[in-house]
């Protein structure tokens, strides 16, 4: 059995794990899983206590993208059955943001499909960002608009945006396998532009696209080189109508290994469990909260998540609290009665109905 405690100790000292150590984590066995999660939970607890940050996605512009990222339901030529629309009106954006904030989101992520914004797009979005910041002063606004041209990050920062998300998604070596219309270096360049403008850099990966453990390790190490403030870990949602349809490579256990590797390499950085949480982790979602300190609440860009209320219940039942919520709001510290869950049996033995089996 592998001993993960030396890796936890290293992580607690903020020493980066080596590629070999990341591979030890990523190739560990299911028998070793709880030991691994326990080790990864140590830096999580030290730096984030029992808090879970909630993030809320608003898809400002959906589908119709000219890029060909193979994992994306909004890509060029996608026949995925998703909602498509051009830019939301400012009032629609503000209403969507208000819903997320009301549900407890500490950060709202304003996302638009496309290669990158035009200067006109940025000018159009800037007043909406200003209004959102005025409506919700304590809430972080993250923009995710694709590749940035010179000056655009500064303009977003001036409008009040706090952060910019642009994921590296996979290793540099593999990038050309998942996209031909832009490069890994283009992505690195946009994260650098955001950082230079004073936007908090958010960059992560997508697992489950046929990559090796080595690719995940390389992607994590490349991310570490960018020194992001948050690292979203997405698990591929293999939409029908995209090139990666039918790719169900991930198990809940392997998702936990990937999250643990991310946490051990980023001990005090926000590690966010992102898209694919429900479909890949399934009943192990709550266990992942011992490793990550951040999740998306509610729906994703083009697919539905579990109901926001179920997310909040899961957080509370697992013994965590929502970052920024008062004890009354998140229900921490007390057992809530759930009489709605108690139902007398009316099927199976002694009845005319088939049993629940």
Binding site for ligand SF4 (CB under 6 A): 65, 67, 69, 72, 74-75, 113, 115, 146
Active site residue 72: yes
The residue among 179 and 197 lying less far from ligand SF4, judged by its C-beta, is: 179
Distances (CA, A) of 311 to 32, 53, 231, 278: 27, 12, 20, 10
Q: How far is the CB of 50 from ligand SF4 (least distance, A)?
A: 33
Q: Which of these is catalytic: 144, 179, 202, 255?
A: 202
Q: Which of these is catalytic: 142, 144, 179, 255?
A: 142
The residue among 65 and 273 lying less far from ligand SF4, judged by its C-beta, is: 65
- What value, to the nearest 5°, has the Cα angle with vertex 225 and ends 194 and 4? 130
Q: How far is the CB of 194 from ligand SF4 (least distance, A)?
A: 16
Return the H-helix or E-strand segment holding 321. Answer: strand 321-322
Q: Is 65 annotated as a binding residue?
A: yes
State the distance between the two ends of the chain, measured CA to CA, in whole angstroms.
Answer: 36
Q: Is 142 annotated as a binding residue?
A: yes
The residue among 8 and 72 lying less far from ligand SF4, judged by its C-beta, is: 72
Q: Residues 83, 302: contact at Cβ < 8 Å? A: yes
Active site residue 179: no
Q: How far is the CB of 83 from ligand SF4 (least distance, A)?
A: 14
For residues 286, 288, 289, 295, the Cα torsion angle rounded to the nearest 10 degrees is -100
Distances (CA, A) of 115 to 65, 69, 72, 86, 201: 7, 10, 13, 14, 18
The residue among 78 and 285 lying less far from ligand SF4, judged by its C-beta, is: 78
Active site residue 202: yes
The token duo for 97 is: 């943001």
Of the candidates 231, 172, 165, the one whose C-alpha atom is nearest the C-alpha of residue 195 is 165
Q: Is 144 annotated as a binding residue?
A: no
Cβ atoms within 10 Å of 344's Cβ, excluding its own? 4
Q: Is 272 annotated as a binding residue?
A: yes
Active site residue 142: yes
Active site residue 65: yes
Active site residue 144: no
Burial class (CB in 10 A: 0-12, 13-18, 19+), 138: exposed
Q: Which of these is catalytic: 69, 144, 179, 255?
A: 69
Q: Which of these is catalytic: 72, 144, 179, 255?
A: 72
Q: How far is the CB of 25 from ligand SF4 (least distance, A)?
A: 27
Report the Cα 157 to chain-centroid distance in Å: 22
Q: Is 179 annotated as a binding residue?
A: no
The residue among 115 and 133 lying less far from ligand SF4, judged by its C-beta, is: 115
**Using alpha carbons only, how large is the chain's radius of gyration in Å?**
21
Q: How far is the CB of 188 from ligand SF4 (least distance, A)?
A: 15
Binding site residue list: 65, 69, 72, 109, 142, 202, 272
Binding site residue list for [4Fe-4S] cluster: 65, 69, 72
Binding site residue list for [2Fe-2S] cluster: 109, 142, 202, 272
Catalytic residues: 65, 69, 72, 109, 142, 202, 272
């Amino acid at each position: 059995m592998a001993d993960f405690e030396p890796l936890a100790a290293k992580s607690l000292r903020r020493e980066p794990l080596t590629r070999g150590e990341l591979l030890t984590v990523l190739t560990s066995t299911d028998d070793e899983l709880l030991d691994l999660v326990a080790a990864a939970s140590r830096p999580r607890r030290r730096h984030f206590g029992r808090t879970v940050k909630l993030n809320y996605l608003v898809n400002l512009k959906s589908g119709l993208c000219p890029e060909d990222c193979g994992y994306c339901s909004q890509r060029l030529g996608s026949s995925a059955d998703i909602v498509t629309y051009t830019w939301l009106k400012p009032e629609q954006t503000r209403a969507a943001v208000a819903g997320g904030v009301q549900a407890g989101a500490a950060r709202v992520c304003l996302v638009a499909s496309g290669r990158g914004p035009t200067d006109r797009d940025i000018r159009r979005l800037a007043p909406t960002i200003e209004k959102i910041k005025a409506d919700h002063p304590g809430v972080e606004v993250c923009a995710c608009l694709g590749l940035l041209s010179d000056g655009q990050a500064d303009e977003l920062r001036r409008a009040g945006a706090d952060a910019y998300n642009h994921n590296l998604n996979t290793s540099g070596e593999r990038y050309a396998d998942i996209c031909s219309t832009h490069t890994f270096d283009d992505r690195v360049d946009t994260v650098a532009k955001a950082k230079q403008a004073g936007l908090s850099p958010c960059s992560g990966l997508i697992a489950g696209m046929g990559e090796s453990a080595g690719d995940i390790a390389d992607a994590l190490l490349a991310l570490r080189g960018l020194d992001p403030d948050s690292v979203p870990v997405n698990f591929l949602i293999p939409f029908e109508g995209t090139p990666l349809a039918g790719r169900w490579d991930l198990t809940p256990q392997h998702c936990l290994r990937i999250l643990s590797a991310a946490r051990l390499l980023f001990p005090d950085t926000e590690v966010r469990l992102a898209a694919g949480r429900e479909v890949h982790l399934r009943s192990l979602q709550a266990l992942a909260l011992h490793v990550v300190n951040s999740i998306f609440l509610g729906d994703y860009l083009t697919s539905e998540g579990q109901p926001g209320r179920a997310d909040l219940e899961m957080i509370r039942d697992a013994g965590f609290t929502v970052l920024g919520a008062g004890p009354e709001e998140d229900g921490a510290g007390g057992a809530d009665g759930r009489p709605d869950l108690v139902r007398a049996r009316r099927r199976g033995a002694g009845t005319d109905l088939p049993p629940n089996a």
